[in-house]
């Protein structure tokens, strides 16, 4: 099933995400939601990353004839029963990166197990077909923020096999390891299988 026009519309207006998607899905024109929908803000009322990604993808598909791609991602800390999980971006009352990290570090006080993982669920809708793929980066949460790159929980997350936090890494290295990239590579394989 050849993909006509090779256009994919993404359920985000976040330039960081769009750039990362363009780097991986080479040969496709990647367009943000805002080119088709004004104020695209679907109600992410799902109970998992994949449910929220599907909500976003289906909401965008109502406005678009092209294939659509949506993701939902966040951090899961095992000793906190998966917190902050789907609430990663709104974990604290303030909802800022700094306040979210402070709340996480306070919740982890006294806990020996600081293992965690970043999770990304990607949903691609092509016609009637719904493709769902997940990507993970396992690591641990340190005791105080380090580094000025990245965003979110990057200053307190060290991926397995490294001594640098995501916020201390060059963006190009972090992007190679990222949970979003891992999910996207699986989506890319599906696209290549379709586009014959």
Task: Give the pair of three-digit tokens for residue 24.
Answer: 């991986």
Is there a contact between 150 and 111 (Cβ–Cβ < 8 Å)? no
The residues annotated as belonging to the active site are 72
> Which percentage of the chain shows pLDDT scores above 90?
76
Output the pLDDT for position 1.
42
Q: What is the arithmetic mean of pLDDT over 43-55?
A: 93
Q: CATH says 4-194 is which class?
A: alpha beta
pLDDT band at 16 (very low <50, low <70, confident <90, very high): confident
Own/partner pairs, 125-133, CB within 8 angstroms, 24+ separation:
125/57, 125/58, 125/61, 125/67, 125/68, 126/1, 126/3, 126/67, 126/194, 127/67, 130/54, 130/57, 131/187, 131/190, 132/50, 132/53, 132/54, 133/183, 133/186, 133/187, 133/190
pLDDT of residue 175: 86
Question: pTM (2 decimals)?
Answer: 0.90
Q: How far apart are CA 140 and CA 43, in angstroms?
A: 31
- Domain map of the chain by residue range? 4-194
User: Is the pLDDT at 48 greater than 60, yes or no?
Assistant: yes
């Amino acid at each position: 099933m050849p993909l006509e026009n090779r256009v994919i519309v993404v359920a985000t207006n976040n330039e960081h995400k769009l750039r990362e998607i363009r780097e991986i899905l080479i040969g496709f024109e990647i367009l943000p939601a805002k080119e088709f929908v004004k104020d695209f803000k679907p109600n992410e009322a799902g109970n998992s990353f994949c449910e929220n990604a599907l909500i976003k993808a289906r909401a965008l598909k109502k406005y678009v004839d092209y294939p659509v791609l949506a993701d939902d991602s966040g951090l899961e800390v095992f000793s906190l029963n998966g917190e902050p999980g789907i609430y990663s971006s709104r974990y604290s009352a303030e909802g800022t990166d700094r306040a979210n990290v402070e709340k996480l570090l306070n919740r982890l006080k006294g806990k020996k197990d600081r293992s965690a993982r970043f999770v990304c669920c990607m949903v691609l809708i092509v016609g009637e077909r719904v493709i769902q793929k997940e990507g993970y980066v396992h690591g641990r949460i340190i005791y105080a923020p380090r580094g000025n790159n990245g965003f979110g929980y990057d200053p307190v997350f060290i991926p397995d096999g490294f001594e640098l936090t995501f916020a201390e890494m060059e963006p190009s290295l972090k992007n190679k390891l990222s949970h979003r990239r891992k999910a996207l590579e699986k989506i890319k394989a599906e696209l290549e299988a379709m586009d014959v």
